[in-house]
Structure formats: structure tokens, C-alpha cells
């Protein structure tokens, strides 16, 4: 997304006029900063103080979350309950608080560097109603192997798959997400780098899916060539009574077995 297309996306976003004005100021300030000044460890984003591990990663998350509004949702509940799986440094948590100030959020992030920034961003912005756990989410609770690149601290693509995450193998504690769905969940955000089917199967087996009203799922398609399981994820949603919209970027429509980030928005009829 280029300079003018980003400004156009902000203008056409579903956010309030005041928020869009703040977004434009943030975007212009950070555009100047990344070209004329060395990146620091914090930035001002829409009246939030944001700590980060890497300016390029934060810049990417800003565009995906705040400009593209990937996690935007309506809620009849003025204080929606949100499960944020794969919170990284907390840009999604800040965004949810931007669009729903009274949101009650449970955030999960296993990576120590990203989690440290997540905690800072919750504390420094005095966010109320937010709990953060340095845990992965998986099919079963217990230790889980995750892979990342040590050259990218706080990487948002830490994964259960080495071919996605990177060469470093580490073991983290994982939780079964279904144990956190004791009541109604207004939004589940799931960005778990290859573990999305495992988590959906856990929720289905525990009978937790009927208590979830909406989801935004980042589905990682063809993480390995020939890994065609998208229909399995969609089938779980369909059996549970969800409808959905799907979006993805396809730079080469003739390419085969190429990795794609697919965004699935699941909702009740």
C-alpha cells in the first residue's frame, strides 16, 4: 500500500472522523520518521504510546490493523468480550480499545520480547479490562514447540512450523483456548501462525463455538506446498453455524502452492 493509497484507505475507513484525523497525523509523522530519523523503541499512534521491538514490524502492524481495519467489528454489547490470540506487541489490543473503549480483552502472546512490549503498552496506556498471558494457544494445554528467527526479536510469525517461523526452536507453555470460553465471546481474533485448525478443533470438541459471536481468523494457506486444509477450517465454522467472508491478496493468479495469508471473517446469521 503506497502513500496515497494509504491516505485513501484512511479516508474510506469505518472509523470516526476524529479517529481518521488522528490516523492521518500518525501516518504522516511515522512516514517522515522512518525516512529521516533512526527508528527508536516507541512511537505515538492515535493517542497511544506504543513500545515495539522493531520499527518495520510495528509499521507493518500499524498498516494492517489501524489502516486496513482488519479487526474492525460491530457489537451490540457496549463492553464486548474479546479473545486476542497472537497479540504480539499489542497493536490489536490498542485497536480494540480504540473502537470499543469498554472492551474486556484477554490477550495471548508466547514470545518473550513481544510480550514485554505488550505489557508495556497495556501499562503505559492505562488500559483497563485487559489481561495478558505469556502463553501460546494450542489444541491441548502443555509445552509446545515454536520456531522463530533470532534476528527478528518480537517476530509476528513465530510459528509451530519451522518453515514459517525460522531456525530457532523454543518451547513455551500453551493453553487450551476452550477453557477461556465460559461465557459469551463477542469477538475472537485468531492469528496463530499455522495452529488455527488445532484451535478451532479444540473449540469445537469442547462445545465452545456456539458461545462465540464473531471471529477474525488469519488462516495461513500453503504454509508448506500442497498443504490444502482450508476446507477443513471452513467446515468447522459451517457445522457450528457460522457464515463467513474471505479475503486474500493474489499477486499472481497463475501461481501454485504459494503461501497466502487469508483473512476469514466469521459471523452469526
Say if residue 264's pLDDT is above 70. Answer: yes
Give, for 99, the enclosing helix (H) or strand (E).
helix 91-99
Side-chain-side CA neighbours of residue 240 (13 Å): 27
Q: What per-residue confidence (pLDDT) applies to 37? A: 62
Give, for 123, the enclosing helix (H) or strand (E).
helix 112-124
Are 165 and 63 in contact by the 8 Å Cβ rule? The answer is: no
**Residue 111 main-chain phi, psi, to 5 deg:** -70, 125
User: Burial of 143 by CB count in 10 Å (0-12 exposed, 13-18 middle, 19+ buried)?
Assistant: exposed
Q: What per-residue confidence (pLDDT) applies to 269? A: 81
Q: What per-residue confidence (pLDDT) applies to 225? A: 79
Selection from 145-149, 156-160, 236-240, 256-260 with the highest mean pLDDT: 236-240
What CA–CA distances, in Å, run from 40 to 37, 43, 58, 262?
A: 9, 8, 11, 31
- Whether domain 67-268 has CATH 1.50.10.10: the reply is no
Retrieve residue 133's grid coordinates: 498471558
> Sorting pLDDT into bands at 50, 70 and 90, what band is 16?
very high
DSSP per-residue letters across 49-69 = EEE-S-HHHHHHHIIIIIIS-
Summarize the confidence of residues 94-119 as an average pLDDT: 97
> Sorting pLDDT into bands at 50, 70 and 90, what band is 105?
very high
User: Which position has the grid cell 458461545?
Assistant: 211
Say if residue 38's pLDDT is above 80. Answer: no
Are 140 and 176 in contact by the 8 Å Cβ rule? The answer is: yes
Say if residue 3's pLDDT is above 70. Answer: yes
Per-domain residue ranges of the chain? 67-268
Of 24-33, 48-57, 167-176, 179-188, least confident by mean pLDDT is: 24-33
Summarize the confidence of residues 202-210 as an average pLDDT: 97
pTM of the complete model beyond 0.85: yes
Percent residues over pLDDT 90 in the chain: 79
Amino acid at each position: 500500500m503506497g502513500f496515497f493509497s494509504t491516505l485513501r484507505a484512511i479516508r474510506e475507513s469505518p472509523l470516526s472522523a476524529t479517529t481518521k484525523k488522528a490516523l492521518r497525523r500518525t501516518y504522516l509523522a511515522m512516514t517522515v520518521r522512518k525516512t529521516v530519523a533512526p527508528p527508536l523503541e516507541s512511537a505515538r499512534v492515535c493517542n497511544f504510546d506504543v513500545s515495539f521491538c522493531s520499527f518495520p514490524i510495528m509499521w507493518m502492524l500499524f498498516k494492517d490493523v489501524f489502516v486496513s481495519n482488519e479487526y474492525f467489528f460491530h457489537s451490540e454489547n457496549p463492553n464486548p468480550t474479546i479473545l486476542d490470540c497472537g497479540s504480539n506487541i499489542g497493536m490489536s489490543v490498542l485497536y480494540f480499545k480504540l473502537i470499543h473503549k469498554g472492551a474486556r480483552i484477554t490477550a495471548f502472546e508466547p514470545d518473550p520480547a513481544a510480550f514485554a512490549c505488550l505489557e508495556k503498552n497495556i501499562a503505559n496506556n492505562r488500559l483497563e479490562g485487559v489481561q495478558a498471558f505469556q502463553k501460546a494457544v494450542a489444541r491441548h494445554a502443555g509445552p509446545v514447540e515454536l520456531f522463530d528467527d533470532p534476528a527478528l526479536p518480537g517476530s509476528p510469525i513465530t510459528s509451530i512450523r519451522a518453515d514459517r517461523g525460522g531456525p530457532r526452536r523454543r518451547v513455551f507453555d500453551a493453553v487450551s483456548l476452550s477453557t477461556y470460553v465460559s461465557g459469551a465471546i463477542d469477538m475472537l481474533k485468531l492469528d496463530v501462525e499455522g495452529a488455527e485448525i488445532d484451535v478451532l478443533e479444540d473449540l469445537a470438541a469442547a462445545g465452545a463455538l456456539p458461545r462465540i459471536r464473531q471471529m477474525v481468523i488469519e488462516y495461513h494457506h500453503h504454509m508448506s506446498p500442497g498443504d490444502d486444509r482450508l476446507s477443513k477450517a471452513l467446515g468447522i465454522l459451517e457445522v457450528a453455524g457460522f457464515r463467513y467472508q474471505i479475503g486474500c491478496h493474489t499477486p499472481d493468479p497463475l501461481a501454485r502452492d504459494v503461501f497466502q495469508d487469508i483473512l476469514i471473517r466469521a459471523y452469526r446469521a
